[in-house]
Amino acid sequence: MGSSTLFDGINEATLQLLVNQTPERTYKAIIREGCKLVEADHGSVFLKENRRLSRVYSSHPLLRGVQPRKNGWAEQTLRTGKATVLTLSDREEIHPVVLKIGVRSVIFIPLAYRRKSIGVLSFHSLKQQHFTETELNVLKIFGSLASLAIEKSRSFRDMQRAIEIRDLFISMAAHELRTPLATVHGYAQLLTSHSQKDSIERRWADELQLEANRLTKLVNELLQVSQIRAGKLQYVFKECSFQMILEQARQDFVSLFPERSITIQGRLVKDTIVGDETKLKEVFSHLFSNAAFYSPVSTPIMVRIGNLKNSIRVQIHDKGKGIPSEDMQHIFEGFYKGKGDTAQGMGLGLYEAKQILKSHHGKIMVRSAVHKGTKVIVDLPLYIDDGAVFTP
């Protein structure tokens, strides 16, 4: 076959193996690429589990339930760390099931990660094959590549499980918090109604109500993120005025940040869209709030609106501290907050905004530079009478 041909095959296999996928898909890809590399007919993956090798995958159905023999060739390959080729003349050393399916040669390739043996690959051929010592050493490189892919898939699986557990906990916690929060709201309102306007009790009641409102907002965000990730967030689509949605978001902003200045410039020739008014208002409330959190009180927040060909464009510009380049690639991830970020919230606003806009066939882009402020650009498709650009 030649070592240069093997090197070319290994290079081609690299792109197929080093992608994030489940262990099962990784095993399948390793055997598929390995069979092409050594011109084998089928193969198996053995991994070390509880100090013994276990066959975790095979491309041949008769071999899937067959476990390696103690002190067999797979076990020997694990111990020695050397690639080996067995031919028909070694039939007494080969598992009888392997002989039954007409195998004439078996190639064993060790798997090792960080100098630690983790398993073995076996490739079965219906014809006799021969490899030089140099070629077998080159095949160990494929084994190293396969080992890296297996460890990467395990990490990916563990990460997915951790995310699932986290999301389940968040959903359960948010639901459980709703009942005591309702009680806190009720007592805060009761205290407000039974206290004098300028008394310290009234001030305590107002602060209690303010914090209860803030906590309720966080709980609602958690529930909404949970619904988004589960694909269960419900939308009520209808024709509506975008100008009205934006004005409602602006009024909410003014009530939350009475000390801040927000200016809307430009005009819309057409402003009819198809969307969920409540959720779109939440999007722009999040974006306005972010601009307030990350910019000095003395600087205004500028909002410019206008029409593109078949859409509405909104640009929200603040003169805040900006977003560092290393954080830009993460800003749409849920629960991500950059280093030194002391703003309120849990880093969910941009994640929610992107998911809601995506459901409206809209787009969101962020341009930012440290100490030069941030510009958020949102495009939403218009509803056109002679044929909708977007319909739910």
- All domains in the chain, ordered by first residue: 3-159 (3.30.450.40), 161-229 (1.10.287.130), 238-381 (3.30.565.10)
Contact 294, 370 (CB under 8 A): no
What is the C-alpha to C-alpha distance for residues 310 and 126, in angstroms, rounded to an integer?
Answer: 62
Dihedral of alpha carbons 76, 81, 82, 88, sign? positive
What is the C-alpha to C-alpha distance for residues 388 and 274, in angstroms, rounded to an integer?
Answer: 9
What is the C-alpha to C-alpha distance for residues 66 and 294, in angstroms, rounded to an integer?
Answer: 61
So what's the pLDDT on residue 9? 63
So what's the pLDDT on residue 339? 58
DSSP 158: H
Which DSSP helix (H) or strand (E) runs through 303? strand 301-307
Closest CA to 67 of 122, 134, 5: 122
Higher pLDDT, 368 or 220: 368
Contact 242, 357 (CB under 8 A): no
Across the chain, what does the average pLDDT equal? 83
C-alpha Rg value of the chain to the nearest Å: 31
Q: Which range, of 4-13, 206-215, 219-228, 373-382, averages the lowest pLDDT?
A: 4-13
What is the C-alpha to C-alpha distance for residues 18 and 29, in angstroms, rounded to an integer?
Answer: 10
Confidence label for 346 from pLDDT (cuts 50, 70 and 90):
low
Whole-prediction pTM: 0.54
Q: Which residues pair with 214 in a beta bridge?
A: none
Q: Taking residues 158-163, what's their average pLDDT?
A: 81
DSSP 310: S
Buried b (16+ CB within 10 A) or exposed e, 135-161: bbebbbebbebbbbbbbbbbebbeeee
| Exposed/middle/buried for residue 77 (C-beta within 10 Å: 0-12, 13-18, 19+) | buried
So what's the pLDDT on residue 388? 47
* Residue type at position 151: E
Closest CA to 106 of 61, 55, 50, 43: 43
- The predicted-structure confidence for 15-42, as pLDDT tens digits, reads as follows 677 777 888 999 999 999 889 888 899 9
Confidence label for 335 from pLDDT (cuts 50, 70 and 90):
low
* Residue type at position 113: Y
What is the C-alpha to C-alpha distance for residues 66 and 203, in angstroms, rounded to an integer?
Answer: 74
Q: Which range, of 350-354, 356-360, 383-387, averages the lowest pLDDT?
A: 383-387
Position 245 pLDDT exceeds 90: yes
So what's the pLDDT on residue 337? 62
Confidence label for 332 from pLDDT (cuts 50, 70 and 90):
confident
Q: Reduced to 3 states, what is the DSSP secondary structure of residue 391?
A: coil
C-alpha dist (Å) from residue 392 to 14, 305, 357, 383, 388: 42, 24, 13, 11, 10
What is the C-alpha to C-alpha distance for residues 342 and 76, in angstroms, rounded to an integer?
Answer: 57
Confidence label for 4 from pLDDT (cuts 50, 70 and 90):
low
Confidence label for 380 from pLDDT (cuts 50, 70 and 90):
very high
Q: Give one DSSP letter per residue of 215-280, joined into a string.
A: HHHHHHHHHHHHHHHTT------EEEEHHHHHHHHHHHHHHH-TT--EEEE---S--EEEE-HHHH
Which DSSP helix (H) or strand (E) runs through 317? strand 311-318
Position 342 pLDDT exceeds 60: no
Position 60 pLDDT exceeds 50: yes
Higher pLDDT, 357 or 336: 357
Higher pLDDT, 375 or 132: 375
What is the C-alpha to C-alpha distance for residues 130 and 4, in angstroms, rounded to an integer?
Answer: 16
List strands edge to edge, sheet with 363-369.
262-265, 301-307, 311-318, 373-381, 363-369
Higher pLDDT, 62 or 210: 62
